[in-house]
Structure 1
Amino acid sequence: MTSMDSKVSVLMERYELGRLLGQGTFAKVYYGRNTRTGQGVAIKVIDKDKVLRVGLTNQIKREISIMRLVKHPNILELYEVMATKTKIYYALEYAKGGELFDKLSKGRLKEQIARKYFQQLINAVDFCHSRGVYHRDLKPENLLLDEYDNLKVSDFGLSALAESKLQDGLLHTTCGTPAYVAPEVINRKGYEGDKADIWSCGVILYVLLTGYLPFHDPNLMEMYRKIGKAEFKCPNWFPPELKRLVTRMLDPNPSYRITIAKIKENSWFKKGTNARKSRIESQNKDSDRASCSSEQKQEVIRPPNLNAFDIIALSPGFDLTALFQEKRQKKEARFTSWQPASVIISKLEEIAKLLKMKISKREAGLLKLEATKEGRKGLLSIDAEVFELTHSFHMVEVKKSNGDTLEYQKVLNQGLRPGLQDIVWTWQPEEQPPEQIVQPSVQTVQPEQLETLPPQQEQLP
């Protein structure tokens, strides 16, 4: 029994760690509780030395990058990343309902329940594909359920981004779980990630409805042969539209395999979606009406928080940067300020007016400044985004989003920097050397901690 099992441990003064939920070769997952909000989370603890030893650095970087891209109600959310010298921590959404696989181990699901999970799966996968993300390991073990019985896609460790394609426009890494892998992946001739994911979704749909796999054989090569020829049979009780859907998803020729857009048009798939959509829209309207009056009384500027991953990415001297983000040439400028977000934004608006620039977009913490055609030669767009480091300490990132770089540098150095000097504490990176880095747990950073990096404390499982 570990110390984690016998007593409560606190991670980064932020999370109380409790029981062990599961473990693998390189990671353990614990139940945790946010000490500030009381929210239940899952804490994934990865051994950094093991990751480096077996060459999984790129996989870790890719998984974190992808989970930051895919924010969706049916995708497990990554709240923040933390690190010490020996461990990497993910604070993840806690799926109280466990794995969908556990439900399937008791037998097939009722048709309407299977359809609900399948609809949520397709919506999540469709969102991933719209962001250029291909999961490549979709299976019931990687589909979790929250306390409201909603599906959550998890485990993006084998996922690929669109830029992973080779010159032929295809992916070439053979990965995934054999029974759920598309035939073109097995053939190792290159494949399209979205079509491979659709095949896996087809296998999952079949399993949800029948309780068993469409392709199964104790001999792996024989199972691959069945997959390659799509040798399976739909039960007689499948409705015709469902049988057509499964057959088209499990077409061994990816060129003829159904697309997600066509899946959503299938009559079996669409059952119940209109009523559910109406309920959601009604709830959203009620919520909008309730919040509208308060917004009219007072507009509250609430900038986004920077999580630990963002802090690490902004800190070139931190020794774990290579685990999380590819090196790139950064052209943006940043400054920190003790002023409230409302004061910072008001100051930016004031300077924009003096520079004859208009505010074309204004969201929580984000301003888009644009030079008018009369004011300057050519159209220049500058984004200024305010991030909350602590309750009273903010960082502002200023970057060119469109226009001439020399014109941007002129506006930055001759307009923004002098105009902001009365609210700026320090500009980055010029006035903040690499060793002056905040502790990698954002919510526990205090203003005085910005001066030096305190010794790492190993409050580990």
Structure 2
Amino acid sequence: MVGGGGGGPLRRVGKYEVGRTIGEGTFAKVKFAQNTETGESVAMKVLDRSSILKNKMAEQIKREISIMKLVRHPNVVRLHEVLASRKKIFIILEFITGGELFDKIIRHGRLSEADARRYFQQLIDGVDFCHKKGVYHRDLKPENLLLDSQGNLKISDFGLSAWPAQGSFLLRTTCGTPNYVAPEVLSHKGYNGALADTWSCGVILYVLLAGYLPFDEVDLTTLYGKDDNEDAFEDETGPLTLNAFDLIILSQGLNLAALFDRRQDCDKLQNRFLSRNPAKVILSSMEVVAQSMGFKTHIRNYKMRVEGLNADKTSHLSVMVEVFEVAPSIFMVELQRAAGDTSEYNTIHPKGQIYIGQ
């Protein structure tokens, strides 16, 4: 519903007056909104129905909504209601103003024992409530823990959450963030969702008290203590596949040699490189390295945003990374610098530490 007034048109969705965009992902935008009946501020997650259907995410969205309706707890971001139009779905969420716990750690380093204890107790209270409802988060990490205006912790992002299928005790989908995921999740033998979440909570407690990760290898083989396995990061959909015309457009002067001649110097590849590693392994490896360098990462659907202050804490660096499949088992990685110093960008350029190799 669109409303107007002396100050110009105002967009309305039901009883909510919609304002600025406060977050944006691959399939959704998050907007600030206000309940015109109560004056309460909310976060409105706006999803496009056609994109959801095209990317076969309908069941995932339904599951996330059902789970958030179920887990009403002071330490879990509250779902107020869900609205829909012919083209859009609107998920109305509690508006959290204090940012991510991750940001607090980045700014201040390790926390005091008293602060760490408080956050950990709130985390365990929220996670325990979820588990009693049969819900397992599966992606617990400081980036998914928000702080309200009073400094209280709120668990968010239930996009990877699940409950065991009826009659089945073990979960089998491999998912999560490498540094926080429990070893048994990678075993392909099934795992207990509650125990896997508990492992992640333990890693979070370590980060709160130490200011760095307990498991922080730049190489996934070392990190996991096992060989890379293409099935270890199984997902329903793969990276975008490039056809011949896409490759021609990407190449300079219609010359594809720059993409495929591995004998050339990496400098000539500019912002792209090739790898035979699985797409998920590529992104996870780059995420581990970026985080070890103090940068913050966000991964969604084979795209990753890397951002944070440079080593001197004098400027902000922002880099977009996307993985494309150019042939079976051959992937192209493209990096684009959105903001920041060129020299700092070169530290995570393919010729630098994040280069994955053949």
**TM-score, normalization by structure 1:** 0.46
1:171 aligns with 2:171: yes
The amino acid of 1:220's aligned partner reads L
- Residue 140 of structure 1 is aligned with which of 139, 142, 162? 142
Q: Is the 8 A contact 2:83 2:90 kept in 1?
A: yes
The amino acid of 1:33's aligned partner reads Q
Alpha carbons of structure 1 residues 9 and 139: separation in structure 2 relative to 1, 3 Å? farther
Counterpart in 2 of 1:216? 216
CA distance in 2, matches of 1:102, 1:170: 34
1:191 aligns with 2:191: yes
Q: Is the 8 A contact 1:144 1:153 kept in 2?
A: yes
- Residue 155 of structure 1 is aligned with which of 141, 153, 157? 157
More helix per residue: 1 or 2? Answer: 1
CA distance in 2, matches of 1:20, 1:203: 32
The amino acid of 2:162's aligned partner reads A
Alpha carbons of structure 1 residues 62 and 75: separation in structure 2 relative to 1, 3 Å? same
Counterpart in 1 of 2:124? 122
How much does 1:12 deviate?
2.2
The amino acid of 2:212's aligned partner reads Y
CA distance in 2, matches of 1:213, 1:203: 7
Counterpart in 1 of 2:53? 52
More strand per residue: 1 or 2? Answer: 2
Counterpart in 1 of 2:115? 113
Larger gyration radius, structure 1 or structure 2: 1
Alpha carbons of structure 1 residues 117 and 160: separation in structure 2 relative to 1, 3 Å? same
Secondary structure of 1:21's match? strand
Q: Percent identity?
A: 60
Which 5+ residue runs of structure 1 have no aligned equivalent?
A: 1-5, 227-461
Q: Is the 8 A contact 1:164 1:171 kept in 2?
A: no
How much does 1:219 deviate?
1.0
Q: Is the 8 A contact 1:184 1:191 kept in 2?
A: yes
The amino acid of 1:41's aligned partner reads V
How much does 1:84 deviate?
0.9
CA distance in 1, matches of 2:166, 2:159: 14
Note the aligned Cα RMSD (angstroms).
Answer: 2.0
Q: Is the 8 A contact 2:31 2:44 kept in 1?
A: yes
Secondary structure of 1:124's match? helix
Secondary structure of 1:215's match? coil
Q: Is the 8 A contact 2:29 2:45 kept in 1?
A: yes
Counterpart in 2 of 1:182? 182
Task: Tell me: higher relative CO, structure 1 or 2? Use CA pairs within 8 A at least 6 residues apart.
Answer: 1
**TM-score, normalization by structure 2:** 0.59
How much does 1:164 deviate?
6.0
Output aligned runs, 1:270-309, within 5 Å.
none
Which 5+ residue runs of structure 2 have no aligned equivalent?
A: 1-6, 227-358
CA distance in 1, matches of 2:187, 2:10: 48
CA distance in 2, matches of 1:35, 1:97: 23
CA distance in 1, matches of 2:122, 2:98: 15
The amino acid of 1:160's aligned partner reads A
Q: Is the 8 A contact 1:29 1:44 kept in 2?
A: yes
CA distance in 2, matches of 1:212, 1:14: 44
Alpha carbons of structure 1 residues 198 and 165: separation in structure 2 relative to 1, 3 Å? farther
The amino acid of 1:97's aligned partner reads G
Counterpart in 2 of 1:63? 64
Output aligned runs, 1:28-427, within 5 Å.
28-106=29-107, 107-163=109-165, 166=168, 169-225=169-225
Secondary structure of 1:33's match? strand
CA distance in 2, matches of 1:129, 1:58: 21
Query: Once superposed, which parts of structure 1, at least 4 consecutive aligned residues long, lie more than 4 Å away?
Result: none
Alpha carbons of structure 1 residues 134 and 220: separation in structure 2 relative to 1, 3 Å? same
Q: Is the 8 A contact 1:16 1:33 kept in 2?
A: yes
How much does 1:17 deviate?
1.6
How much does 1:9 deviate?
3.6
How much does 1:74 deviate?
0.4
Q: Is the 8 A contact 2:164 2:170 kept in 1?
A: no
